[in-house]
Amino acid sequence: MTVSNSRESPCLVVDLNLVRANYRALHAALPTARIRFAVKASPLPEIIRLLDTEGAEFDVASVGEIELCLAQGVDPAVMCYGNPIKKAGHIATAYAAGVRRFAFDTEDDLQRIAEHAPGSEVECRFLASAPQSQTPFGNKFGCAPDEAAQLLVRAHDLGLRAGGPYFHVGSQQLDPLAWQIGIEQAGAIADALVAKNIPVSVVNIGGGLPISYADAAPGVDELGAVITAAATRHLPEYTALIVEPGRALVGNTGVIHSEVVNVRQAPDGRRWIYLDIGRYNGMAETENEYIAYRFQTDRDDDPVAEAVVAGPTCDGDDVLYQRTRVLLPTTLRAGDSVRILETGAYTASYSSVSFNGFPPLTVHVTGAERE
Ligand SMILES: Cc1ncc(COP(=O)(O)O)c(C=O)c1O
């Protein structure tokens, strides 16, 4: 994909037509699942309105994201406050706005939901025994699987609607078996609840669906087949499946247009290429070099050689890649444009307000919001 643009560098150009295509492809791969967009991946009003029109639900992580969705006309009934870390006041504000679905992973949070969002439906996030993803959550979220059933029983006793179990296999998860493992564990939790006469209405299989960056990832059809087979085998027939993607809906819809600021042979003997985009103005997911983005230049027909790629700030950590093997044209020089592909997820919203005086990443939206 080559996108040319004459706008000031750096900027992110997002194509709405690709968002729609991604949504429909996922819907085709998982026709009975409810698709809940994780707003944090790309909180652009145009994307929210488009996905609302397509019939998506919305995973919101904060009062700010609730307000953003409300301002686009989204019905709060299709929002789920999916962040297990939330203050009592935030729960109350969400409830006052009409949100009636919440995720939790601790007894404390459950108590707060029962008090400030009475009668709501809750999903209990457990830590699935899935293989590690490219950008893992570690132990930050999720109770032990056997605790989830107890917490959902407790939810029922507190007057809440025990929706069902919820897991997230980690973002950019490359192994489809991760969902099979999670669904099997969710099935055991569902069975434990059904044995106590508490019906399980939903199983949320989270996000984590990968896209192809420098390395290819399994596509939605392959994932859909694994997920459908596991759900058929392990979940009660009447359970609704919820899938909660961020990256898979928006990752390949954006291209960052950047510019080479400087090229030098550093004392370490390596060629360093400094761009006007870095870790702090959009490329946050290069932390630990987790995500290996693809680069495109106007000199791609010239010979290539390895390069370290760094950002523009005076910060030592503002280096995108020094371990990942990045090959760039040997002729690349200051002023050349560099496009960074598949940068539609977790970029613009991550960019800092003014670190080193650099402004947040500008976004340009192209394509049709409505067909
Ligand atoms: C609660 C929740 N749901 C869904 C997602 C979306 O994950 P992904 O972009 O990997 O699909 C995230 C990402 O952090 C999340 O925190």
Given this model, what pLDDT does residue 7 score?
87
Residue 2: its pLDDT value, please? 36
Atom of ligand 1 minimally distant from the CA of 41? 9
With respect to residue 285, please indicate whether it lies within any of the assigned structural domains.
yes
Q: Are residues 207 and 332 in the same domain?
A: no
Using one digit for the tens of pLDDT, what is the confidence trace for 116-136?
Answer: 999 999 999 999 999 899 988
- CA of residue 299 to ligand 1 center, whole Å: 36
pLDDT at 29: 98
Are 216 and 268 members of one domain?
Answer: no
- Residue whose CA is closest, atom 16 of ligand 1? 83
- 24 inside domain: yes
Could you read off the pLDDT of 163-210 as tens digits, one per residue? 999 999 999 999 999 999 999 999 999 999 999 999 899 999 999 999
Ligand 1, atom nearest to 170 Cα: 10
Pairing of strands 308-310, 319-321: antiparallel
Instruction: Give the separation between CA 307 and CA 321, rounded to whole angstroms.
Output: 8
Kindly state whether residues 91 and 153 are assigned to the same domain: yes
CA proximity to 262, closest of 324, 303, 300, 314: 314
Residue 197: alpha-carbon gap to chain centroid? 34
Instruction: State yes or no: pLDDT of 162 exceeds 80.
Output: yes
Co-location of 245 and 288 in the same domain: no
CATH number at residue 206: 3.20.20.10
Please report the pLDDT score of residue 136 as a whole number.
Answer: 86
Query: Dihedral, CA atoms, 274, 280, 286, 289, nearest 10 degrees?
Result: 80
DSSP state of 182: H
How far does CA 4 lie from the centroid of its chain?
A: 26
> Residue 6 has what pLDDT?
59
Measured distance CA(275)–CA(213) in Å, rounded: 19
Reported as a single tens digit per residue, the pLDDT across 304-333 is 999 999 999 999 999 999 999 999 999 999
Please check whether residues 239 and 284 belong to one and the same domain.
no
Task: Give pLDDT, residue 237.
Answer: 86
Burial profile 148-173: b = 16 or more Cβ within 10 angstroms, e = fewer: bbbbbebbbebebbbbbbbbbbbbbb
Report the number of distinct structural domains present in the chain: 2
Q: Are residues 65 and 187 in the same domain?
A: yes
CATH classification of the domain holding 299: 2.40.37.10
Domain boundary among 250, 266, 284: 250
If you take atom 14 of ligand 1, which residue's CA is the nearest one? 171
Task: Give residue 153 CA to ligand 1 midpoint distance, Å.
Answer: 26
Pocket-forming residues, ligand 1, beta carbon under 6 Å? 38, 40-41, 59, 82, 168, 171, 206-209, 244-248
Of 38-47, 134-143, 295-304, the one with minimum mean pLDDT is 134-143
Query: What is the per-residue pLDDT for 1?
Result: 34
Domain boundary among 198, 218, 250: 250
Residue 210: CB atoms within 10 A of its CB come to 25
> Which atom of ligand 1 is closest in space to residue 83's alpha carbon?
1
Query: Beta partners for 80?
Result: 59
Ligand 1 atom closest to residue 103's alpha carbon, by position in its atom list: 1
Same domain, 266 and 246: no
Q: Report pLDDT for 3.
A: 40
Say what percent of the chain tops pLDDT 90: 95
Q: Per-residue pLDDT tens for 235-291?
A: 998 899 999 999 999 999 999 999 999 999 999 999 999 999 999 999 999 999 999
In whole numbers, what is the pLDDT of the chain averaged over residues?
96
Same domain membership, residue 256 and residue 231: no
Say if 143 falls within a structural domain.
yes
**Best mutation site among 19, 244, 285 for ligand 1 pocket (most ligand atoms within 8 Å of CB):** 244
Q: How far is the CA of 112 from the centre of ligand 1 (A)?
A: 23
Which residue segment(s) compose the domain that 323 sits in? 252-366
85 and 185 in a single domain? The answer is yes
245 and 257 assigned to the same domain: no
Report yes or no on 1 lying in a domain: no
The residue among 219, 250, 281 that closes a domain is: 250
pLDDT digits (tens, 9 = 90+) for 95-124: 999 999 999 999 999 999 999 999 999 999
Asked if residue 342 and residue 195 are part of one domain, the reply reads no
Q: Do 290 and 165 belong to one domain?
A: no
CA of 267 to the centre of ligand 1 (A): 40
